[in-house]
Amino acid sequence: MSSQKTPILFIEIEGNDMKNEMRRDAVEVAVQGLNNQKLTSELEVAKFIKKKFDSKYGETWVCVVGAEFGSVVTPMPGHYILFRVGNMSIQLFKLKK
C-alpha cells in the first residue's frame, strides 16, 4: 500500500452475515482507515478496523485487508463480512469464544 491514497471508486459486498447497522459501520470504518494518511500499510488499516470493532462490539474481532488473499474461517453467526473498497478487500469477523 503506497502512502499516496487513491479515491474510492466503488464498494462491493461479497459476503455478509451482519445486520444492517453493523454492516454500515464496517464499511464506514474501512473507508476511514483506507483514507487515513497516517495508516500506510494494509496491516495498519486492519488494526484500525479491528480496534474500532473491538471497542464498539466487544472482543474478539479479526480483520484482514489486502488486494489478494485467501482464507477459511468459522465466525460467530451474524458477525462476518467480506467486501471490496476500491481495489482492497476487507474481511472482518468475530471469533467464537
Residue 29 counted as domain residue: yes
Instruction: Give the model confidence (pLDDT) of 40-67 as tens digits.
Output: 999 999 999 999 999 999 999 999 999 9
Question: What is the span of the domain harbouring residue 45?
Answer: 11-95
Mean pLDDT of the chain: 92
Contact (CB, 8 A) for 53 and 63 = yes
Instruction: Say whether pLDDT at 1 is over 70.
Output: no
Return the pLDDT at 55: 97
Query: Is the bond preceding residue 60 a cis peptide, omega within 30 degrees?
Result: yes
Residue 52 counted as domain residue: yes
pLDDT-based confidence at 79, cuts 50/70/90? very high
Instruction: Please compute the mean of the pLDDT values over residues 71-95 and round it to a whole number.
Output: 95
Residue 78 counted as domain residue: yes
- What CATH number should be reported for the domain holding residue 43? 3.30.740.10
Residue 68 counted as domain residue: yes
Share of the chain above pLDDT 70, in %: 91
Instruction: Say whether pLDDT at 22 is over 90.
Output: yes
Number of separate domains in the chain: 1
pTM above the 0.75 mark? yes
Residue 5 counted as domain residue: no
Residue 3 counted as domain residue: no
Nearest CA to 84 out of 30, 24, 3, 40 is that of 30
Instruction: Say whether pLDDT at 21 is over 90.
Output: yes
Distance CA(40)–CA(35), nearest Å, equals 10
